[in-house]
Homo-oligomer: A and B are copies of this chain.
């Protein structure tokens, strides 16, 4: 078991958005989060990664998570290779060639990250996951701005990761071509009743 959520509730801006979310991801498993805009996917993923506390319930495995959000965390003034090398060092791994390869970044390697097109930036952001060395990938709308070829690269990278015993939790609105992934619709967990939130005392 790589990641487990037991009866998790999360809030954003003081408002509970999701309630009673439970899921288990074993090695080699992927799960896709679905749900309309504003339903709380981003919030859940941030909580899973330990960036924000959960209101209730438990997350185990947060320390195994590599997170990738709506923003890519790129430095406009570093080259593509430098950006990737930094994250490799920060996560204590080495070797960025495989990651550059996987997302066809080699031709861009000397370009400054700030001078990439939207989709190229995204590819670089995704390549970062490969150098973290973390077994659980948590991805928030990873394929935004990607063309079909890049989506295929992404699907291949995820498959490779799963094949190597990793796990992935992916929020998305579009089809990723990952037929083996289970689907969790967060709309079913929409928080209705007042929860023991941070402002519970005031209700």
Chain B residues lying within 8 Å of A57, measured Cβ to Cβ, are none
Identify the closest chain B residue to A150 (Cβ). Answer: B37
> This chain: how many copies in the complex?
2
The A contact surface, by secondary structure, is loop
The residues in A between 97 and 123 inclusive whose CB is less than 8 angstroms from any CB of B are 115-120, 122-123
CA separation between A149 and B37, bound complex, in Å? Answer: 9
Chain B residues lying within 8 Å of A118, measured Cβ to Cβ, are 37, 42, 70, 141
A36 at the interface (CB under 8 A from B): yes
Shortest distance from the beta carbon of A37 to any chain B beta carbon, whole Å: 3
CA separation between A203 and B116, bound complex, in Å? Answer: 24
A189 at the interface (CB under 8 A from B): no
- Nearest first, the 10 A-B pairs at minimum CB distance are A37-B119, A38-B117, A36-B147, A37-B147, A147-B173, A144-B144, A38-B120, A70-B118, A37-B120, A13-B115
* 7 further contact pairs, Cβ within 8 A, besides A37-B117, A37-B122, A38-B120: A36-B147, A37-B118, A37-B147, A70-B118, A141-B145, A148-B173, A174-B174
17 contacts between A and B (CB under 8 A): A36-B147, A36-B149, A37-B117, A37-B119, A37-B122, A37-B123, A37-B145, A37-B146, A37-B147, A38-B116, A38-B117, A42-B117, A42-B118, A70-B118, A118-B141, A141-B145, A144-B144
